[in-house]
Structure 1
Amino acid sequence: MKLLIASLLASVTLTAAQAADIVATGDLGLVVERADGSLLLVDRSDRAAIGRIEGLGDLSHASLVYSPDERFAYVFGRDGGLSKVDIVEQAVVARVIQAGNSIGGAISDDGALVAVSNYDPGGVRIFDADTLEMVADIPTGSKTIGLVDAPGRRFVFTMWDSGETWIADLSGDTPEIKKIPDMGANPYDALITSDGRTYITGLFGEDGMTALDLWQDAPEPIRVLPGYGRGAEELPVYKMPHLEGWALAGGEFVLPAVKHHQVLWVDATTLQETGRTETYGQPVFAMARPDGRHVWVNFAHPLNDTIQVIDTLTKQVVHEFKPGPAVLHMEFSPRGNEVWVSVRDAGKVMIYDTASFEKLGEIDAASPSGIFFTARAHRTGL
């Protein structure tokens, strides 16, 4: 009996020791420190930084996606670098320079493939998520933007120069490419809905946007908001809006206008305009709180010290505040009770209660830009 008890105690002790080494990733996130080429690892529960991962190259326009288990982040640098980061070990575990100039990426719905869209030399390159070995090279002859993942191991992306959207199906041994022409002049960014059905690209070369219904066997371009700025003075563009920070709130898309101080409201089913909200500046991100009740908007230089909050029912601004110089990005907690805001020129990430707008805390960071919580691992298009 003593031997049995001793064996059980040893087993319990071993289990406890093993448990001490377990790191839960569900409330973690990464903040891009663009000036230093590093990532700040943050804990949402503690509202604190818990580590820093360095050696990631040029992060001046960086984004990232997560593996399905939330352990690995795939970081897309402006210098063409694709890096695989282990957030448990807080280390870069693989890195390749796959192009001269990159503009973002995506991970397939099964987590097996990572795709990168490139300005130089253009096109999309696709890599094994485990090894970062290239498995497909899809040249497009154009700067490639708006790369998103779609159900069925597909990637969708659009060409700035040619105005085409391509759908690459990687479910077989070789990529199958479907090309949709006539998407419009100079598409600059795109979004996909969480059900993987609707893909919308914004246009810089003309007023309007273009949508595709990806549930159709042969998707046809659908014009959205054609000529929305007709008759109005066009304002200078200091920073392109980001559609991936899109809002779907109460059955409506809320989209940043280009060259105008407005956000545009579009019925998500009919794709018809339902309203406009005048804003403090030219919107960069228009992001819905996860419940869709409010939309938070930040702005381009030189008005980038301000955030406005818009009520979804009235389409009116209900709150405005100034976190500090150069507000670059916002990220909601998964259930929307908090929003984290990067304030680049203050060197801070600031945290706010989304109901009371009370400031809850702040974290020092070196020129912070993008904020990415691990909950993104389970959402299409992010």
Structure 2
Amino acid sequence: MLALLPGMGQAGPDGAALFAEHCAACHAENRLGGTGPALIPETLGRMFGPALEQVIAEGRPATQMAGFADQLSAPEITAIAAWLGTPLAETPVWTAEMANTSREMSDTYTPATAPVFSGDPMNITLVVETGDHHVSVLDGDTFEVLDRFATPFAVHGGPKFSPDGRYVFVMSRDGWVQKYDIWSLQVVGRVRAGLNSRNIAMSHDGQWLAVANYLPQTLTILSTADLSVVRVIDVIDRKGQPSRVSAVYQAPDRHSFVLALKDAPEIWEIATDPAAGPFHDGFVHSYEASMEEALGAEEGLFARRRIDIDEPLDDFFFSPDYRNLIGTNREGTKGEVINLDVGRKIAELPLPGMPHLGSGISWMRDGHRVMATPHLQEGVLSVIDMTDWHLVQTIKTDGPGFFLRSHEATPYVWADVFFGPHKDEMHVIDKQSLQIVRTLNPALGKTVAHTEFTRDGSHALVSIWEEDGAVIVYDAKTLEEVRRLPMNKPSGKYNVWNKITFDDGTSH
């Protein structure tokens, strides 16, 4: 793996060969992404030189990216980083026409007039099994597996349900979006909406699905009816520079999508209904430091509004009424509250240690709504009063966590300890006293993470996040184990009712 370095008369490490050996399994040989993101100049943004070398050496918090400092020398790491900065022979493109050509609808799908199973269709829970790229469909009353279907490679970002709970959509890191009919227990079809994608969001009325893309740097709008591409929106900031889309969020009360941009100090809001929400005539004129741009022909459908911010924000959390957005800066040293009605920052939150706001939750405590977030680099949970945005308390945990979950019917918050030697623990915290009342250890030495509740909140489902893993069903009142369902590296679990009603305790 030696090559002549530019301007040098001696052999040095071959970055391309080292990438093929150590990186291609996750990022693909063509560098366009697999389980990991695309690694080309168009998607790496500002991450070049020492910053990129540090990630290769030390890994990246809250991702599957492990550090290679114990396997590669400093010159080898430098060679890989330098090679990643070289452009591809041809810049990859993915047009609406190409996406529509990729669309595959099932020839054997037959829509049912009623659920083909006897259980409550609103109490179905989907379990994403990342070990072999499948989703299991659980009956939330009996905990029987009703179906297990194959998904595209490396599902990412959480499934999204239609407002009636009948259909669910999943997305893979390589841009495939798949539609599944829960009533019929059948795959409907799939389409490739991008080449390297982040997540999806459902419109308030269930007509549109938005796909956030790193590559190309676009937002793709799909029709949920047939997965056809109805709009591709190029994401370009005020200065004319393209930006990756970190994530797209559904804001049903506002009849819009909200975008986090990776490379631009802007937040975008995209209208999903031209006659309601923040884009109607009586509201749009009250915006401060914002603008509306018609990108569609149907009276402002998919119109864009920009909100200028001081620096790029990521990992959004929303107040239940979707008036306030809380995001974190790139360094993960603070939180900022952006009021979407007036289009500007109204508060700054003391949240060091890389808060994971995207898995934050909220609930009522002493007559005030509070929110809580884990921190990816500190063993604490921060609890914030959403009335005046002051820090109520930090709850010390046994290590950094990744997910929080609760339910309006339970007095507890469930918090995992995803990182470090206590990864086999699950803290159960009282929502009023903010004290840890019990620490569960269901699988010693294995990663225990991500809780989801049944529709009525009577049971909590927890993942053993391993290849030979399981979903553990707990009685949410007694905190005793009820059942253990073997699964292949189960990650996220998603209950239909909790997701379509935006239940308290569920991240949105």
Q: TM-score range by the shorter chain?
A: 0.7 to 0.9
Q: Which moved more, 1:189-198 or 1:91-100?
A: 189-198
Q: CA deviation at 1:213?
A: 2.4
Matched residue SS, 2:321: coil
Q: CA deviation at 1:371?
A: 0.5
Give the equivalent residue in structure 1 for 2:322.
196
What letter is aligned with 2:334?
Answer: G
Whether the 8 Å CA contact 1:247–1:287 is kept in 2: the answer is no
Q: Distance in 1 between matches of 2:489 and 2:116?
A: 32
Quickly say closer, same or farther: Cα 1:25–1:245, change in 2 above 3 A. Answer: farther
What letter is aligned with 2:363?
Answer: L
Give the equivalent residue in structure 1 for 2:362.
247
Whether the 8 Å CA contact 2:356–2:373 is kept in 1: the answer is no
Whether the 8 Å CA contact 2:360–2:373 is kept in 1: the answer is no
Give the equivalent residue in structure 1 for 2:125.
29
Give the equivalent residue in structure 2 for 1:351.
473
**Which consecutive unaligned segments of at least 5 residues does structure 2 have?**
1-112, 236-241, 275-297
Structure with more strand by fraction: 1
Q: CA deviation at 1:292?
A: 6.3
Give the equivalent residue in structure 2 for 1:48.
144
Q: Distance in 1 between matches of 2:394 and 2:256?
A: 33
Q: Distance in 2 between matches of 1:112 and 1:193?
A: 24
Q: Which moved more, 1:70-79 or 1:248-257?
A: 248-257
Whether the 8 Å CA contact 2:384–2:391 is kept in 1: the answer is yes
Whether the 8 Å CA contact 2:458–2:475 is kept in 1: the answer is yes
Quickly say closer, same or farther: Cα 1:224–1:248, change in 2 above 3 A. Answer: farther
What letter is aligned with 2:491?
Answer: S
Q: Distance in 1 between matches of 2:222 and 2:192?
A: 12
Q: CA deviation at 1:126?
A: 1.2
Quickly say closer, same or farther: Cα 1:101–1:246, change in 2 above 3 A. Answer: farther
The Cα offsets for residues 319-339 of structure 1, whole Å up to 9 and x where unpaired, read as 101222222321112332211
Q: CA deviation at 1:301?
A: 2.9
Percent identity of the aligned residues? 24
Q: CA deviation at 1:96?
A: 0.7
What letter is aligned with 2:316?
Answer: A
Decide which of 222, 226, 232 is 1:131's aligned counterpart: 226
Decide which of 149, 164, 170 is 2:266's aligned counterpart: 164
TM-score (norm 1): 0.85
Q: CA deviation at 1:308?
A: 0.6
Whether the 8 Å CA contact 1:249–1:292 is kept in 2: the answer is no
The Cα offsets for residues 53-73 of structure 1, whole Å up to 9 and x where unpaired, read as 11x212353410111221110
Give the equivalent residue in structure 2 for 1:225.
349
Q: Distance in 1 between matches of 2:117 and 2:437?
A: 43
Give the equivalent residue in structure 2 for 1:210.
336
Give the equivalent residue in structure 1 for 2:192.
97
Quickly say closer, same or farther: Cα 1:260–1:103, change in 2 above 3 A. Answer: same
Q: Distance in 1 between matches of 2:173 and 2:406?
A: 27
What letter is aligned with 1:221?
Answer: K
Quickly say closer, same or farther: Cα 1:285–1:96, change in 2 above 3 A. Answer: same
Structure with more helix by fraction: 2
Whether the 8 Å CA contact 1:127–1:135 is kept in 2: the answer is yes
Give the equivalent residue in structure 1 for 2:500.
377
Q: CA deviation at 1:293?
A: 2.6
Whether the 8 Å CA contact 1:289–1:296 is kept in 2: the answer is no
Decide which of 434, 454, 459 is 1:333's aligned counterpart: 454
Number of residue pairs matched by the alignment: 352
Whether the 8 Å CA contact 1:145–1:190 is kept in 2: the answer is no
Q: Given the alignment of the two structures, is residue 317 of structure 1 paired with residue 443 of structure 2, yes or no?
A: no
Whether the 8 Å CA contact 1:340–1:351 is kept in 2: the answer is yes
Whether the 8 Å CA contact 2:255–2:271 is kept in 1: the answer is yes
Q: CA deviation at 1:224?
A: 2.9
Q: Distance in 2 between matches of 1:304 and 1:171?
A: 44
Matched residue SS, 1:26: helix
Larger Rg: 2
Whether the 8 Å CA contact 1:183–1:221 is kept in 2: the answer is no
Give the equivalent residue in structure 1 for 2:293.
none
Q: Given the alignment of the two structures, is residue 149 of structure 1 paired with residue 273 of structure 2, yes or no?
A: no
Q: CA deviation at 1:270?
A: 1.2
Q: CA deviation at 1:192?
A: 2.1
Matched residue SS, 1:243: helix
Quickly say closer, same or farther: Cα 1:258–1:32, change in 2 above 3 A. Answer: closer
Q: Given the alignment of the two structures, is residue 267 of structure 1 paired with residue 380 of structure 2, yes or no?
A: no
Decide which of 484, 493, 503 is 1:362's aligned counterpart: 484
Matched residue SS, 2:491: strand
Moved over 6 A (4+): none
Q: CA deviation at 1:373?
A: 1.0
Q: Distance in 1 between matches of 2:114 and 2:126?
A: 24
Whether the 8 Å CA contact 2:254–2:322 is kept in 1: the answer is no
Quickly say closer, same or farther: Cα 1:198–1:293, change in 2 above 3 A. Answer: farther
Matched residue SS, 1:104: strand
Q: Distance in 2 between matches of 1:357 and 1:203?
A: 37
Q: Distance in 1 between matches of 2:417 and 2:166?
A: 32
Give the equivalent residue in structure 1 for 2:175.
80
**Which consecutive unaligned segments of at least 5 residues does structure 1 have?**
1-17
Quickly say closer, same or farther: Cα 1:109–1:19, change in 2 above 3 A. Answer: closer
Q: Distance in 2 between matches of 1:101 and 1:304?
A: 30
Q: CA RMSD in A?
A: 2.3
Which is bigger in relative contact order (C-alpha 8 A, separation at least 6)? 1
The Cα offsets for residues 332-372 of structure 1, whole Å up to 9 and x where unpaired, read as 12332211111121420101112211001121222111101
What letter is aligned with 1:305?
Answer: D
What letter is aligned with 2:215?
Answer: D
Matched residue SS, 2:500: helix
Q: Distance in 1 between matches of 2:486 and 2:225?
A: 32
Q: Distance in 2 between matches of 1:22 and 1:285?
A: 31
Q: Distance in 1 between matches of 2:360 and 2:496?
A: 16
Quickly say closer, same or farther: Cα 1:183–1:354, change in 2 above 3 A. Answer: farther
Give the equivalent residue in structure 2 for 1:14.
none
Q: Which moved more, 1:291-300 or 1:346-355?
A: 291-300
Decide which of 398, 405, 419 is 1:301's aligned counterpart: 419
The Cα offsets for residues 194-243 of structure 1, whole Å up to 9 and x where unpaired, read as 322222223341411122223x2x321233324x43xxxx6xx8xx8362
Q: Which moved more, 1:276-285 or 1:137-146?
A: 137-146
Q: CA deviation at 1:152?
A: 4.1
Give the equivalent residue in structure 2 for 1:4.
none
